[in-house]
Amino acid sequence: MINVAIDGPVGAGKSSVARECARRLGFIYVDTGALYRSCALFCIKNGITISPDNESEIAEALEKRLELKIDLIDGEQHVYVNGEDVNGEIRTIEISKAASEISALPSVRKYLLDTQRSIAANNNVIMDGRDIGTVILPNADLKIFITAKPEVRAKRRYDELIAKGESITLGEVLVDVNRRDFNDTHRKEAPLKQAEDAILIDTTEIDFEETVSGLTAFIMSRFETLA
Ligand code: DC
């Protein structure tokens, strides 16, 4: 199996780039952020406070009461929380914030570790997240770290949210991006950082198609079986 790990901060374009590269290569695309978002949604819906002080209740609820499943429909990842497709519900600002908070808890990261590793063990995958190259798949065949300037990332996130009908300002999104960058890079457990053997792609000045075609060609050149 070929495993490609893509990490990077919020709004760097990694999800859309990873999804499209996977489609062109016939790989499975795994969006691991959706798993943290789904855990956060589960807690919110069940009145479970997301805070480090409440970690044992959260851990117990995830182990005993949450069944998390992933399915691919027309190449699109769908996550099911106790049988319910939550894709439409996990992309709000509220869930983004809660996901960032819940992802700092070691027991939550541990809970999601096996799910992520077992998908990679059985499929050619492009998996995107924050700690894929450093923690989840340290032996990935290829590691990419995608980033861009915070202002550019905030603008991309803002355009996505507006397109989905959310009412928000660019300034609010920039505050959210900066806060999440801080949380993601400063947490004790599996902080966001570029793996030593990862290749850096800065998309500040590169558009989507250029990034995707460059990366797809690069992956194909690295793995002869794909040519
Ligand atoms: O990629 P995203 O914005 O959907 O991720 C939501 C949150 O989950 C983000 O704040 C960081 C966290 N996350 C993580 O800690 N590790 C991952 N592998 C993926 C996401």
pLDDT digits (tens, 9 = 90+) for 59-103: 999 999 999 999 888 778 899 999 999 999 998 889 999 999 999
Whether residue 166 has pLDDT greater than 90: no
Q: Choose which residue among 7, 15, 32 to substitute to test ligand 1 binding: the one with the highest number of ligand atoms within 8 A of its C-beta.
A: 32
Tokens of 23: 């489609």
In short, whether 109's Cβ falls inside 6 Å of ligand 1 is no
Domain boundaries, the chain: 3-220
What would the mean pLDDT of 179-183 be, rounded to a whole number?
Answer: 91
Please report, rounded to a whole number, the percentage of residues in the chain having pLDDT higher than 90: 84
Q: Give the containing element (helix H, strand E) for 144.
A: strand 142-147
DSSP codes, 145-186 = EEE--HHHHHHHHHHHHHHTT----HHHHHHHHHHHHHHHHH
Q: How far apart are CA 104 and CA 53, in angstroms?
A: 12
What is the predicted pLDDT for the residue at 42? 98
Tokens of 10: 């919020």
Q: Are 132 and 140 in contact (CB under 8 A)?
A: yes
Q: How far apart are CA 108 and CA 76, in angstroms?
A: 24
In short, whether 116's Cβ falls inside 6 Å of ligand 1 is no
What is the predicted pLDDT for the residue at 227? 60
What is the predicted pLDDT for the residue at 164? 85
Q: Choose which residue among 17, 130, 181 to substitute to test ligand 1 binding: the one with the highest number of ligand atoms within 8 A of its C-beta.
A: 130
**Strands (DSSP E) found in 89-141:** 125-129
Q: Are 79 and 31 in contact (CB under 8 A)?
A: no
Q: How far apart are CA 215 and CA 85, in angstroms?
A: 31
| Averaged pLDDT of the chain | 94
CB neighbours of residue 91 within 10 Å: 16
Q: CATH homologous superfamily for 3-220?
A: P-loop containing nucleotide triphosphate hydrolases (3.40.50.300)
Closest protein CA for atom 18 of ligand 1: 129
In short, whether 39's Cβ falls inside 6 Å of ligand 1 is no
Whether residue 129 has pLDDT greater than 70: yes
In short, whether 112's Cβ falls inside 6 Å of ligand 1 is no
Whether residue 105 has pLDDT greater than 80: yes
Give the residues across from 30 on adjacent strands. 127
Give the residues across from 78 on adjacent strands. 71
Whether residue 223 has pLDDT greater than 90: no
Whole-prediction pTM value? 0.90
Q: Are 147 and 13 in contact (CB under 8 A)?
A: no
What would the mean pLDDT of 190-200 be, rounded to a whole number?
Answer: 95
pLDDT, one tens digit per residue, over 17-36 is 999 999 999 999 999 999 99
What would the mean pLDDT of 158-165 be, rounded to a whole number?
Answer: 90
Closest protein CA for atom 15 of ligand 1: 103
In short, whether 184's Cβ falls inside 6 Å of ligand 1 is yes
Distance 37 CA to ligand 1 centre (A): 7
